[in-house]
Amino acid sequence: MRMSRRRIFVAGHKGMVGRALCRLLELQSEVELITATRDQLDLTDQSAVQQFFRRQQINEFYLAAAKVGGIWANNQFPADFIYQNLMIECNLIQAAHQADVQKLLFLGSSCIYPKLSPQPIAESALLTGPLEPTNEPYAIAKIAGIKLCESYNRQYGRDYRSVMPTNLYGPYDNFHPQHSHVIPALVGKLHRAIVNNEPEVRIWGSGNARREFMHVDDLASACHYLMSLPATSYCDGLEPMCSHINIGTGVDCSIRELAELLKHITGFDGELQFDTAAPEGTLLKRLNVDRLSGLGWTAKIELSQGLSELWSWFCQQNLAK
């Protein structure tokens, strides 16, 4: 007798994280992948989301949908970031519960932690101090998502898990010159400088801020691994009721080191100019990944390898235009 496949919904499948999850899940023969475009489903429309879940008979759910952006976008559009992310999380998690979806994975962000968290940042640092002001609205929305999952677990016995990825990069990132994070912003700037034969590339900040970067395919692997664990293993030592787990590499580098590495990979022969008057956020941020490694998973893709692959992909995309 042929076994029925697990119906897994990935919300946000057109984003960088959602695409990586779909690439991985599509390789699983026992999985029937479910997705919906923005035209097909408005995630901020509660009624539409509830109807979608009632129709689809979903077994598992990866919540990767979010409104995201870099420092500039978070500063300029704080209302958009907090409102849209809260609506997406509330609508989707409640609809999943109402449709009796027992397994869910919520993807948050490392910006949930206080600005002055002890380094590397452990999961226990959550709600222990003030947030980084430049992305506080987005961070508060992501914290609400964690607490939604915890609350449904406590009240209804759901298996709703939360993971907090470090800074991500990879194919299908947002390369907008103003709205992007540091790696896609640098990739875009270097590409334009090479094409236009520009003598320099200007970078926000002093270059001394340190960040941890992870390839999005590693994130997808970690998410799939954590979802495959039985609840007893996943929840071991977590309070309250299966709280969040950090996903990262445990290794950081300075923005200056990152820029120099990308300069080498891209072959840009101009100068890197650091704008010390521009904001650069928290000076040091790296995640403690002891819980994740204790559960048996570690990152595989080295930064130099991942950036080289990203540069090749980006150049191919631009040639295809």
Identity of residue 288 = N
Consult the annotation and say whether 16 binds a ligand: yes
Q: Which residues are catalytic?
A: 138
Consult the annotation and say whether 206 binds a ligand: no
Consult the annotation and say whether 108 binds a ligand: yes
**293's tokens:** 């490694």
Consult the annotation and say whether 110 binds a ligand: yes
Consult the annotation and say whether 181 binds a ligand: yes
Helices (H), the chain: 16-25, 46-56, 71-76, 78-98, 136-156, 182-195, 216-228, 231-234, 255-266, 290-294, 303-320
Q: Are the C-beta atoms of 260 and 304 separated by less than 8 Å?
A: no
Consult the annotation and say whether 224 binds a ligand: no
State how far the Cα of 60 lies from the Cα of 232, in Å rounded to an integer: 18
Q: Which residues pair with 245 in a beta bridge?
A: 163
Consult the annotation and say whether 147 binds a ligand: no
Q: Which of 212, 203, 208 is CA-nearest to residue 278?
A: 203
Consult the annotation and say whether 17 binds a ligand: yes
Consult the annotation and say whether 191 binds a ligand: no
State how far the Cα of 111 lies from the Cα of 135, in Å rounded to an integer: 7
Binding-site annotation, residues: 12-18, 107-110, 142, 165-168, 181, 189, 204, 211, 280
Binding-site annotation, residues for substrate: 189, 204, 211, 280
Binding-site annotation, residues for NADP(+): 12-18, 107-110, 142, 165-168, 181
